[in-house]
Each structure stands twice: as structure tokens, then as C-alpha cells.
Structure 1
């Protein structure tokens, strides 16, 4: 089970990760997160940056070093990570890498109720998704001028997308060939509006024995 964090916003993890390299002011933090692609990986919402930085400081995870002014620009506060913050960063990272948590992607939810659509429409929709996944895979093949160590999450994305694409191709093939178990009953349901008796029986038994 995931631990409760003093500052649990994903952006907090990103801020701590960049300050682990050197002290920065918030504008530099944002630039580093964007430059390293962490805004994509951590689903960062930029409007909360200063709030997150303030909360990290309030909880002694980062601390102010100095305030600097460059030319006519507004004064900027420089922060560094504290020992407490570094310990939190390490513990949080270890948890994320080692703990398997149940996740429910939107695609999985759609698969669970796809029988409400006809097999032919499902094939069309899966083909659309397969095309989109193919484009996403192509996007992961773009070369970045950074060490591989900082791109392992992109490799993970590619592996997951490639596996999903292979699985969808297999499912589409079963649907098109009519070899998916139960597809005849599924088609009959959409042609007649009558659900198979075994499916209805299962639902009724579940209601009687919750």
C-alpha cells in the first residue's frame, strides 16, 4: 500500500528529483522538469508549482538558500533539498519501483463492458486505437540528446505500448475470424436483443448470492 506523503503531489517528486542535483529557483526547476521530460512522466500541472514548492519548504523537505535578482526581473528565491527531503525522495522512489499497485486504465474499463457494442463495431474501434498506439510507439523512437539512464521510462512506455498493440492485433484477429469464445451468442444478442440464458442465469445468481 502506498504511503501517505507530507506532500503527495506528483510534482513534489519532480521538484525533489531536480533539486537533488543542485539548488535552483522555481523558474529553473520548471525548466529542468520540462527539459528532462518529467512534465510528461509525472503529469505535472504547472499552475501548482509555487504551491508545491511552498508546501515542500513548509515541511522541511526543501529550504531557502538565498534570494537573487537578475537585472529588472523579479526577485527569485533559490531552494536546495534538505536531508529530510533527500530521504523522502529516496523512500518515495524505492516505493514506486518496488510496490505493485492495482491500476484501472480507461481501456481496461472499456474492455470490461465492450459487449454492449456489436463485435463489428468493437473491431472498428480497436483498429482506431491500434493506429493511435502505433503513433505513440513511433513517438518513443525519437532520439534525445540525454543519457539512456534518464530515458528508461520512455523504453518502458514503448514496451507497454508494443505489448498492448500485439494483444489488440490478436483480439481483432479472433473477432474477425469468429474464433473468440462466445462470439456467436454476442452477435445473437445484438441481432435479437436477447441475452444468452447462461449469462442471465449468472447475473441472477449473483443477485441472489451477493
Structure 2
């Protein structure tokens, strides 16, 4: 029997963190931000707590303990249930084996690039390339900090390597396409009569 799959992809991050060690949602949020996984998952306090509640409700995780530091509120610590860990492994296996259709906004927008006109399209792509370079530099810095400063095993941050590879591939395509537009190598539709 397969369990009901969580609707929010943030569940993957929660379940992955709980493989490392039991923890409370505040600690989960801290680790996700440190590892810059908040760029892969929509992370808000509300979405995180909703996800944890759903995972508890559906039997994937359970409360194991509480802790209270100073005058702060009591925090509930969670861990995988035996079934939840099995469900998680099955879900991950499926997600890695079977490519699914994703609908990124950029892909939708770039399909209408010609609407911008040559100059504006090239400028937009150059601006995107600059933003991608900055994001790649931040990602590399966070990856290095996780590996070197925090001694996080490579396997626990391998998604950062994948994200960097995807950024580099996009950056290469965006830069090359902007150059082709600027050099006139990319055929462009004639501007409609006004």
C-alpha cells in the first residue's frame, strides 16, 4: 500500500532533514536557509508548519520529544515513522527515476521572446545573465560554507551541485542567445506595421 503523497514539495525537504536527525520546525527552517534550499522550496513559517502537520496527520512523521530553551515557547521535535521512512524512499525513487513535466515561467516567457524586439530581448537576456551569475556565486559560496565550515557530507548537499549545474547551463544558453541576437545571427520577425 502506498501512502497519500504530500501535495507540497516542501515535504521532501522536511523528510530529507529528518533522515539526518530528529528536529523541530524552527531548526528545519534554519538548516534549509543555511543550505539555500529556500530557493528550491517555497519556505514560509506557515507553509513549513502546515507541511509538518500534514505529514503527522498522514503518518509520515511523529512527534518524539519537546524542548524549551530559556523563555522561548516549547518546540516539538519530529522524526520519521517507520512507515513514513519507507514511503519517503518509495516517493524519492519514483521522483528520481521518472522525469515529470515541469512548467517554469521562463520557458513560457522565452517562447514569446520575439515580441520584445531585438534590442529589448538582448537587453533582457543580458540582465537575466547577470542575475544568474550573481545567483551562481551565492550558491557556490553557500555550498562551500556547508561543505567546509559546517562539514556537511557531499551527499546531503548534492542538490546544490545540481542547482549550480542547471544555473550554468541556463547562463550559457541565455548568454549565447543574447549574443546571437546582437550579432544578427538569430533570424527575427519583421516588426508589424503600426
Do they superpose with TM above 0.5? Answer: yes
Q: Could you list the runs of 5+ residues in structure 1 that have no partner in the other structure? A: 194-210
Question: Which whole-Å CA distance do the structure 1 matches of 2:118 and 2:24 have between them?
Answer: 55
Are the aligned partners of 1:66 and 1:79 in contact in 2 as well (CA < 8 Å)? yes
The CA deviation at 1:71 is 4.6
Moved more, 62-71 or 153-162: 62-71
Question: Which whole-Å CA distance do the structure 1 matches of 2:32 and 2:105 have between them?
Answer: 27
Paired residue for 2:138?
Answer: 139
Larger radius of gyration: 1
SS in 2 for 1:80: strand
Paired residue for 1:126?
Answer: 125
Residues 105-130 of structure 1, C-alpha deviation per residue, up to 9 Å, x if partnerless? 22211221122221122111111111
Q: For 2:164, which of 158, 170, 178 is the aligned residue?
A: 158
Moved more, 13-22 or 82-91: 13-22
Q: How does 1:31-180 map to 2 (within 5 A)?
A: 31-142=30-141, 143-144=144-145, 145=149, 146-180=152-186
SS in 1 for 2:6: coil
Q: How does 1:10-25 map to 2 (within 5 A)?
A: 10-25=9-24
Q: Could you list the runs of 5+ residues in structure 2 that have no partner in the other structure? A: none
Question: Which whole-Å CA distance do the structure 2 matches of 1:169 and 1:75 have between them?
Answer: 50
Residues 8-30 of structure 1, C-alpha deviation per residue, up to 9 Å, x if partnerless? 22222222222223323333333
**CA-based RMSD:** 2.4
**What is the TM-score with the length of structure 2 in the denominator?**
0.81
Higher RCO (CA < 8 A, seq sep 6+): 2
SS in 2 for 1:77: strand
Q: Say how many residue pairs are matched.
A: 186
